[in-house]
Amino acid sequence: MPPQVKRLALLFAIFIGLFLVARYFLVPKSFGEHGHYRGLSLVENQDQEPKYAGQKVCNDCHDDLMAVKAANDHKTISCETCHGPGLIHANNPDSLPLKPAGREFCAKCHSLNAARKAENIVQVNPEEHNTGQNCTECHNPHDPWEKMR
């Protein structure tokens, strides 16, 4: 066998050996218990405290807003997308949910973006569209085309 092939075979053997040693130390022991997953991730996820209440909980108390929202462009968006996790508010109605404010918040979805279809989501250039004003000064987020003024 030529010497360069012997060196190459030795190099591959060293590489495979290093790979197996690294894999032994880096792959968690519970990996593969439930297919190609880390088994303990199920327990870790189960132990996390819930934060989201779900759309049905919002519907139970805010049916007036839900009726307005159901008739406009934001009907498919969950309340918690804009107002944040609602479980604390659902368990204690005196606590207020997040009230989105500022142009940056609305611009997360509505700023110009070539990756979004313009016919699916209204896009504006926040640097040109009514600069100096918050979006909610003109638009009701639950019914965006109803003018506030």
Summarised one tens digit per residue, pLDDT across range 80-112 is: 888 889 899 989 888 887 778 778 888 888 888
Residue-level pLDDT at 134? 84
Residue-level pLDDT at 82? 85
- Domain closes at, from 27, 46, 65: 46
Q: How many domains does the chain have?
A: 3
C-alpha–C-alpha distance, residues 81 and 87, integer Å: 13
**Domain identity same for 109 and 149:** yes
- Tell me the residue range of the domain where 139 lies: 100-149
Secondary structure E strands in the chain: 139-140, 143-147
**Domain identity same for 84 and 105:** no
CB 139 within 8 A of CB 73: no
Residue-level pLDDT at 147? 59
Low-confidence ranges of the chain (pLDDT < 70): 145-149
**Domain identity same for 41 and 22:** yes
Could you tell me the two tokens for 142?
């639950």
**Domain identity same for 85 and 117:** no
Q: Residue 40 CB: number of other CB atoms within 10 A?
A: 13
**Domain identity same for 105 and 139:** yes
